[in-house]
Amino acid sequence: HPSQGVSLQDAVTLRCHLPRLAAWVWLYQEEGWSYNKGKEKEQDAAEFFFVSTKREHAGRYRCQYRVSWSEEASEKSDPVELVLIDRSFPPPGLSLHPEQCVEMGTNVTIRCWNKDYGATFLLHKDGSSDPIQRQESSEGGTATFTLFGVTPADSGTYRCSYRPRGYPFISSPLGDSVTLEVTPTPAPPGAAGSSHGNLVVAVVGGCTAAFVFILILIIFFLLSARRRRTQRDESPGAPPKKPEATEFQVPSSDSEGLTYLELQAVTPSTQPPNSPIAPQPSVIYTEVAVRGRH
């Protein structure tokens, strides 16, 4: 502790967490020093302090413990790295291409360089505890990192650092930052207009279909009502209408005292009962002779 950003001469603590209570704990530096702690009381953790770090403190560390002297020591733990920043090294330069705002799917190049130190370059992204890429420098002290087919998740702030050859756990300070912004790919021209046109066509088509459906219902109900009325008028149980007779007089000078009767005769229809055409009555004239007294 702290886990990163420790500079030379800073204080740092290395902590060993034990799965069992133990009386003895060792801290080993690979290819370097070893430190041990023992207590009369068993413990489940042990801390090792460096009050002022030096270059020789940088390295990879592992823990080991022993419950008691009568038991064998445990296996060594997974390693942790203590990387120290040496501010005597100048920070690297940094460039971004294409610059800043790019569309999704674009390949982005981040170039880092120093003053021709042989070194390993590391690419850092703000918010990530570990470097996201590393690369050995080429001639001229440069390294080129490529982000293929970027997405909005690649948006953020990037920086570089380097570790001089021969000092794998000594780092330069972080260089200046560049900011990458990834925007969604714009819709092709006319896509918005086409979508709007399709919506209008769908709405008009729906309204037309509804109007036609309502019109068909109205016509159906009108025809049904007319059919019921026709059937009621021609029902076999209805009493037939009696022919009406009309009597009128003709002046005696012309008709010799004749009286005419106009009779309406109903001729039996040969058409089907449900025929919409009603039979037309016939008119019959008859002559009635009346002899006057002499």
Question: Percent of the chain at pLDDT above 90?
Answer: 43
Half-sphere exposure of 187 (CA within 13 A, CB side): 7
Report whether pLDDT(241) > 80. no
Question: CA torsion sign, 92 to 97 to 103 to 106?
Answer: negative
pLDDT band at 12 (very low <50, low <70, confident <90, very high): very high
Of 142, 141, 169, the closest CA to residue 56 belongs to 169
Question: CA torsion sign, 53 to 59 to 60 to 64?
Answer: negative
Contact (CB, 8 A) for 153 and 178: no
Q: Which residues fall within 8 angstroms of residue 68, CB to CB, at 6 or more apart?
A: 23
d(CA 128, CA 112): 19
Region class of 224: left (phi > 0), else alpha (psi between -120 and 50), else beta: alpha
Peptide linkage before 2 cis (omega within 30 of 0): yes
- Whole-number average pLDDT of the chain: 78
d(CA 150, CA 165): 31
d(CA 48, CA 73): 19
pTM listed for this prediction? 0.59
- The model's pLDDT over 263-290, given as tens digits with 9 standing for 90+, comes to 454 455 555 545 444 555 554 444 555 4
d(CA 75, CA 65): 8
Q: Rounded to 5 degrees, what angle do the CA atoms 276, 282, 287 make?
A: 170
- The model's pLDDT over 107-137, given as tens digits with 9 standing for 90+, comes to 999 999 998 778 999 999 999 888 999 998 8
d(CA 282, CA 277): 15
- The model's pLDDT over 49-91, given as tens digits with 9 standing for 90+, comes to 999 999 999 999 999 998 887 788 899 999 999 999 999 999 9
Q: Is 244 helix (H, G, I), strand (E, B) or coil?
A: coil
